[in-house]
Amino acid sequence: MVQKIFNLSENQKTALRIALSYVFIGVLWMLVFRFLLPHFFHSTVPAQFEGWLFILITALFIYKSINAPLLKNQQIARALKHNEEKYRTLVEDINEVIFVIDQFGKITYISPAIHELTGYTPNEMIGHLFLEFIAPEDEEKIYKAFKERLRNIIKPMQYRLVRKDGGYRWVRSLSRPFNNQRGSRGIRGVLMDITDMVEKDKALIESEARWRSLVEQAPDYIITTDLQGKIQFVNRNFFSVAENLVIGQMIYDLVPQSEMKKIHKAIDMVNSKKLPYRFEIELTVDEQKRWYFIRVGPIKNKEKMVGLTFIATDITRRKEYEQELQEYRSHLQNLVSERTLKLKTANLELDAYNRIVDQSLKNLLTEISEFVGEIEVLIESDPNKSLKQKLEKLRENALQLNTQFEKLLKKVHRN
């Protein structure tokens, strides 16, 4: 009973106060004018005066009983009006959209910020089903989420609104169910425009997927570590070791002990100078020796070093080519040395032959000259001078032969 009295409305409480005041005044009146006054003063108040006095006192008490709650209601009404104006201004001025939807999915209120978001005014949307403004691709999941909200299942949603011009805007919605004064259930919440964020996230995801594909398909091993060399990422299985087993290991533990010093030196150099460092290491992979060219560089975040990158390029084939080229060069050098030795030997033999030929020719020419001298003595005694003419001709031929031999010898010496 007491709980029911406390749960009365303000009007019911006012009526109860009036009734109780009337009863209190009647009881007090009876006590004063029917018992106390006659008993102590041995007199009674005239009935007419008593009646008017009762009316005045009752009216005063009833006025007080009614006026007090009325004044309180006026104060509450003024406060409510002030708060309503304050919160309405706040709701209408914020960038986010405030909305209220009844249990049938009709929009009963939506703030003016919806116009900038969709191009529709609130009056164009109020009274319509909210699904009319949802992108067709998102209608099914939004309708399902609407039913869940009415069952008090609350979670944020992300979907597309259809603009008046036919375009789309991505929004994030957070809403809660409520019961109105009539006991009907509805949903109220807020919409935030996240189109720019979604487009940036989409571009970032596409960029990340493109670069991840590029990194994963790269022929080189790409490894990132912290500043001490602890592996945080590797683009594929490290030789015969699975990727998930490599992450968390120290990078210098993955190489032979003979090559650890090179890794330590590279880490120290990059950490101290903050510049790339390059070196080569030799590894045994599947019982075969392979050479790798390692490039180590800093990873920076706003000029602060936060990690290291290791890019390992397989240069085994290049090393094999270099070795084959070195062997071929050695072979060529051996061939040149052999040919040079043979040429020197041939030149020595040719010089000796030239000296022999030169001396033989000189001896022959000397003998010819002596022979010609003897013939000249005989010619002096020839009366017809015919021998002299033949001798002159023979001399000219000898001179020509001598000239040709000298040219031949010079040519041989040049070669």
Domains 94-200 and 219-314 share a fold: yes
| Predicted TM-score of the model (pTM) | 0.43
**3-state SS, one letter per residue, for 220-234:** CEEEEECCCCEEEEE
Residue 135 is predicted with a pLDDT of: 93
Spatial neighbors of 160 by CB under 8 A, at least 6 apart, are 134, 135, 137, 138, 168, 169, 170, 171
More confident residue, 242 or 125: 125
Residue 414 pLDDT exceeds 70: no
Q: What is the pLDDT of residues 204-240, one digit of tens each?
A: 777 777 777 766 677 788 889 999 999 988 887 776 6
Which strands form 221-225's sheet, in the order they lie side by side? 231-234, 221-225, 304-314, 288-301, 277-285
Average pLDDT (314-337) is 86
pLDDT tens string 344-370: 887 777 777 667 666 666 666 676 666
* Whole-number percent of the chain with pLDDT over 70: 63
The model's pLDDT over 63-116, given as tens digits with 9 standing for 90+, comes to: 666 666 666 666 666 666 656 555 555 555 567 888 999 989 999 988 888 888
> What integer is the mean pLDDT of 266-289?
87
Q: Are 308 and 299 in contact (CB under 8 A)?
A: yes
pLDDT of residue 355: 72
Q: What is the pLDDT of residue 10?
A: 63
pLDDT of residue 381 exceeding 90 = no
Q: What is the reported pLDDT for 221?
A: 85
Top-confidence residue, 132 or 47: 132
Contacts of 227 by beta carbon, 8 Å cutoff, 6+ apart: 267, 271, 305, 306, 307, 308
For residue 321, the surrounding DSSP H or E stretch is helix 316-379
Tokens 């001025």 locate to 93
Exposed (0-12), middle (13-18) or buried (19+): which is 287, by Cβ within 10 Å? exposed
Could you tell me the pLDDT band of residue 302, with boundaries at 50, 70 and 90? confident
Phi, psi of 176 (to 5 degrees): -140, 150
| 23-51 residues labelled b (16+ CB within 10 A) or e (exposed) | eebeeeeeeebeeeeeeeeeeeeeeeebe
Q: What is the pLDDT of residue 333?
A: 86
Give the per-residue pLDDT at 382: 56
pLDDT in tens, 109-154: 888 888 889 999 999 999 999 999 999 999 999 999 999 988 888 8
| C-alpha of 20 from chain center | 76
pLDDT of residue 365: 66
Residue range 303-323: average pLDDT?
Answer: 88
Domain ranges of the chain: 2-90, 94-200, 219-314, 323-414
Selected residue with higher pLDDT from 375 and 125: 125
Q: Cα–Cα distance between 125 and 105 in angstroms, integer?
A: 12
Third-level CATH fold of 94-200: Beta-Lactamase (3.30.450)
* Per-residue pLDDT, 277: 93
What is the percent of the chain where pLDDT is above 90? 20
The predicted pLDDT at position 1 comes to 47
* Sheet strand arrangement including 97-102: 107-110, 97-102, 185-193, 168-179, 157-162
CATH superfamily of 219-314: PAS domain (3.30.450.20)
pLDDT of residue 34: 62
Tell me what pLDDT residue 209 has.
Answer: 74
Average pLDDT, the chain: 78
Q: How many angstroms separate the Cα of 42 from the Cα of each of 48, 49, 78? A: 19, 17, 54
Residue 91's DSSP bridge partners are none
Among the residue ranges 17-21, 192-196, 264-268, 286-290, the one predicted with the least confidence is 17-21
Banded pLDDT at 180 (limits 50, 70, 90):
confident
**Confidence at residue 51, expressed as pLDDT on a 0 to 100 scale:** 59
Sign of the dihedral defined by the CA atoms of residues 313, 319, 325, 329, in that order: positive
What's residue 2's pLDDT? Answer: 45
Residues 168-189 have a mean pLDDT of 86
